[in-house]
Amino acid sequence: MTAIRICAGLFAFLGGLAMLVPILAIDESKYCDGNTCSEPVLGAMKSAFTNPDFRIFSLANVATFMATFFLETGAIYYVTMLMGMSEATASLIMIVMFGCSFACYPFIVKLTRRIPKINMQMFAMLLHGILFALIPLCTVLPDAALTGWVIILLLAIPTAINSILPTAIMADIAKSDGNRTGSHKEG
């Protein structure tokens, strides 16, 4: 139990250091305009939800995060019962998926210059759904472990897209809404 606490403490410390990097390394005045919102918080949230684009995107974003949550929480079951591998492999699979996802980040950022973000987001949702639906096939196909690894590696693509684009799309919606209404709520 002590080892788990030490590990959790170490991850918390490393996470804290990682969160300091953007604060210390990014000069916000270089990349954005500073606007203040005169509306109170609840009023700003209410007016934000009057924007149909924001409502639809928020709903889709919640659904995407729920799907990712189901994938992550079910990883041990998928790996042990459907793929026939050991429990320890579940952690390895998730680490590999997130590592591959992280490796896709530069590629995804470059793609957003050529492909509209919303199209990429819809592709990610579709691919995520298809791959999630394929997980039960691990019991039917001859090599369950190989099938599982292929699915997990392909899941890195929608995971990368869903990690990067929702924030960028939300910023685009907020900026567009601010330009339309004159009330900037981006910050």
Element containing residue 92 per DSSP (H, E):
helix 87-111
What pLDDT digit, counting tens, does each position of 106-118 carry? Answer: 999 999 999 998 8
Contacts within 8 Å (CB) and 24+ apart, 179-186:
181/47, 183/37, 183/38, 183/39, 183/44, 183/47, 184/35, 184/36, 184/37, 185/37, 185/39, 185/44, 185/47, 185/48, 186/32, 186/35
In a domain, 158, yes or no: yes
pTM across the whole model:
0.73
- Asked whether residue 186 is domain-assigned, the answer is no
The answer as to whether 108 is a domain residue is: yes
Asked whether residue 119 carries a pLDDT value surpassing 60, the answer given is: yes
Let me know if residue 163 belongs to a domain: yes
Q: The domain containing residue 134 runs over which residues? A: 38-181
pLDDT digits (tens, 9 = 90+) for 151-168: 888 999 998 998 888 888
Is residue 23 in some structural domain?
no
pLDDT tens, position by position, 17-38 = 999 998 888 887 777 766 666 7
Task: Tell me how many domains the chain contains.
Answer: 1
Q: Is residue 151 part of a domain?
A: yes
Backbone angles phi, psi at 50, to 5 degrees: -75, -15
